[in-house]
Amino acid sequence: MSFKSTMDETPSGSGSQGIDSLGLQVMRTLDDLARFSEEEGALTRRYLTKEHTEAADFVMQMMRDAGMDARMDALGNVIGSAEGDSSSSPRLLIGSHIDTVRDAGRYDGALGIVLPIACLGFLHRQGIRLPYPVDVIAFGDEEGVRFQSTLIGSRAIAGDFDPALLDATDSDGIRLADALRAFGLDPDAFEKARYRAEDVAAYIEVHIEQGPVLEDEGLPVGVVTSIAGATRFQVKVVGQAGHAGTVPMRLRRDALVASAEAIASVERICTSIPSSVGTVGILHTLPGAVNVIPGTVEFSLDVRAESDASRHAALSEIDKAFGEIAERRGVSITKTMTHEGDACQCAPWLMHRLAQAVQAEGISVRELPSGAGHDAMAVARLTDVGMLFVRCLEGISHHPAESMSEADAQVASKVLLRFLESFDPRKTG
Residue 290 found at the interface with its own copies (CB under 8 A): yes
The reply on whether position 225 binds its own copies by CB under 8 A is no
Element (H, E) at 418: helix 406-422
Q: Does 384 bind its own copies (CB under 8 A)?
A: no
Amino acid at position 389, single letter: F
345 forms part of the interface with its own copies (CB under 8 A): no
Q: Does 264 interact with its own copies (rule: CB under 8 A)? A: yes
Identified binder of its own copies from the candidate list 69, 188, 267, 424, rule CB under 8 A: 267
Asked if 118 and 68 count as a contact pair (C-beta separation under 8 A), the reply is no
Alpha-carbon span 122 to 117, nearest angstrom: 8
With beta carbons less than 8 A apart as the criterion, state whether 305 and 314 touch: yes
* Residue of 151, 257, 331, 358 that binds its own copies (CB under 8 A): 257
**Cα distances (angstroms) measured from residue 416 to each of 83, 352, 386, 410:** 18, 13, 12, 10
**291 near its own copies, judged by CB under 8 A:** yes
Comparing CB distances to its own copies, the nearer of 121 and 144 is: 144
223 binds its own copies (CB under 8 A): no
Shortest gap between Cβ of 110 and its own copies (angstroms)? 15
H or E element that contains 339 = strand 332-341
Q: Are strands 283-286 and 296-305 parallel, antiparallel or unpaired?
A: antiparallel
Q: Which C-beta is closer to its own copies: that of 197 or that of 282?
A: 282
Q: What is the C-alpha separation between 412 and 414, in angstroms, rounded?
A: 5
The helix, strand and coil proportions of the chain, stated in percent and rounded to the nearest 5, come to: 40, 20, 40
Which of 170, 205, 209, 408 forms a contact with its own copies (CB under 8 A)?
Answer: 209
Say how many residues touch its own copies, by CB under 8 A.
Answer: 69
Out of 28, 129, 175, 398, the only residue in the binding site for its own copies (CB under 8 A) is: 398
**Using rule CB under 8 A, residue 277 touches its own copies:** yes
Q: Are 315 and 231 in contact (CB under 8 A)?
A: yes
Q: How far is the CB of 310 from its own copies (least distance, A)?
A: 13
- The closest of 58, 67, 19, 63 to 36, measured between CA atoms, is 58
- Of 7, 280, 313, 393, the residue at the interface with its own copies (CB under 8 A) is 280
CA atoms within 13 A on the CB side of 259: 27
44 to 83: interface string for its own copies, x by CB under 8 A: ----------------------------------------
Out of 202, 204, 228, 390, which residue is the one contacting its own copies (CB under 8 A)? Answer: 228
Site string for its own copies, 297-336 (x = CB under 8 A): ---x-x-x--------------------------------
Q: What is the largest CA-CA distance in the chain?
A: 83
The one-letter code for the residue type at 247 is: V
395 binding its own copies? (CB under 8 A): yes
Beta carbons of 425 and 92 less than 8 angstroms apart: yes
Comparison of 211 and 425: residue with beta carbon closer to its own copies: 211
Q: Tell me if 375 contacts its own copies by CB under 8 A.
A: no
- Within residues 95-154, the interface with its own copies by CB under 8 A covers 101-103, 143-145, 148, 150
388 Cβ neighbours under 8 A, 6+ residues apart:
204, 205, 206, 207, 221, 222, 223, 224, 354, 358, 412, 415, 416, 419
Using the minimum distance from each CB to its own copies, give the nearer residue, 174 or 292: 292
Whole-angstrom distance, CA of residue 238 vs CA of residue 285: 10
Taking the least distance from each CB to its own copies, the nearer of 50 and 284 is 284
Interface residues with its own copies (CB under 8 A) are 101-103, 143-145, 148, 150, 209-212, 228, 230, 232, 241-251, 254, 256-257, 259-261, 263-264, 267, 270-271, 276-285, 287-295, 300, 302, 304, 338, 370-373, 395-399
